[in-house]
Amino acid sequence: MDPRPTVIVTGASQGIGAAVAQWLGSKSANVTLVARNENALQSIAREIRELGASALVVPADVADPAACRSIVGKTLDRFQGLNGLVNNAGILTPMETVALSRAEDWRYNIEVNLLGPAYLSMAALPALRHSRGCIINISSGAAHHVIAAASAYCAAKAGLNQFTRVLAAEETELTVIAVRPGVVDTQMQNMLRKLGPEKMPPQQAEYYVNLKATGRLEPAAVPARSIAWMVLHAPREWSGAFMSYDEPQISAPALAVFGKQYD
């Protein structure tokens, strides 16, 4: 078995997921990169290999339970073990009121944002039990706050938090945490600025426009550093919690371990 930790990261083709994978690679972790865009994954994989780490590219849609089983199987075939899972893949759409949403769009959002983490966790549990590993579920403030025209996303993230609590109670040898990554300069924020004025109440749409205009969006690397630290080092007593990336007990040791930039 490879002595280096092995972590699966979903949504790894861009944004927070790509940055989590890069931070992990900077500390020589083995990383399985998962997303639908294979070309983008290959680009991130090259960057990780340049850091001296190993990367496995697995193009997949986490909404498919068979694909989730395959992700874990390919990881174990390549690295002979699994220490962590970062369930980061997520979508915002449909950006629409409940009354005007299409059922198939609403369902697919739940499949990606909630069922995907559940499917991957189910597949990964035997290996993670063996390593007493960690699952980090990337949640959102939307789990508690209302975002008009994002009902599926809000509902999925609320469900993900409760799934985290239940899984932590069932799997007492694992560390299972939901993380709020903050407001991050990603494609999701671009979509909120683009579609918000048409779909949201004016005050809410203006809030997302102003986040960018006033420089309040975090670079993806900042919350990703906290997430990378957590999947490797979070204490088991945090299991079941919903935590923010910038809580001092997370952000301070993450900075100490990883530094300010990829090595």
Per-residue confidence (pLDDT) for residue 213, from 0 to 100: 95
pLDDT surpassing 70 at residue 1 = no
Which CATH superfamily is 6-181+222-258 part of?
NAD(P)-binding Rossmann-like Domain (3.40.50.720)
Distance CA 220, CA 218 (A): 6
Per-residue confidence (pLDDT) for residue 185, from 0 to 100: 95
pLDDT surpassing 70 at residue 28 = yes
Q: Catalytic site residues?
A: 153
Per-residue confidence (pLDDT) for residue 74, from 0 to 100: 98
Per-residue confidence (pLDDT) for residue 76, from 0 to 100: 98
Q: Which residue has the higher pLDDT, 261 or 66?
A: 66
Average pLDDT over residues 222-238: 98
pLDDT surpassing 80 at residue 182 = yes
Average pLDDT over residues 51-74: 98
Per-residue confidence (pLDDT) for residue 262, from 0 to 100: 77
Distance CA 214, CA 210 (A): 6
Q: Could you count the other beta carbons within 10 Å of the beta carbon of residue 117?
A: 31
pLDDT surpassing 80 at residue 2 = no
How much of the chain, in percent, has pLDDT values that exceed 70? 99
Per-residue confidence (pLDDT) for residue 221, from 0 to 100: 97
| Exposure string over 222-250, b if 16+ CB within 10 A, otherwise e | bbbbbbbbbbbebeeebbbbbbebbeeeb
Per-residue confidence (pLDDT) for residue 261, from 0 to 100: 83
| Domain spans, the chain | 6-181+222-258
Residue 233 token pair: 């080092």
Name the average pLDDT for the chain: 97
Average pLDDT over residues 78-97: 97
pLDDT surpassing 80 at residue 263 = no
| Exposure string over 34-52, b if 16+ CB within 10 A, otherwise e | bbeeeebbeebbeebeebe
Average pLDDT over residues 3-16: 97
pLDDT surpassing 70 at residue 157 = yes
> pLDDT tens digit string along 114-129?
999 999 999 999 999 9
pLDDT surpassing 80 at residue 232 = yes
Contact status, residue 154 vs residue 109, Cβ threshold 8 Å: no
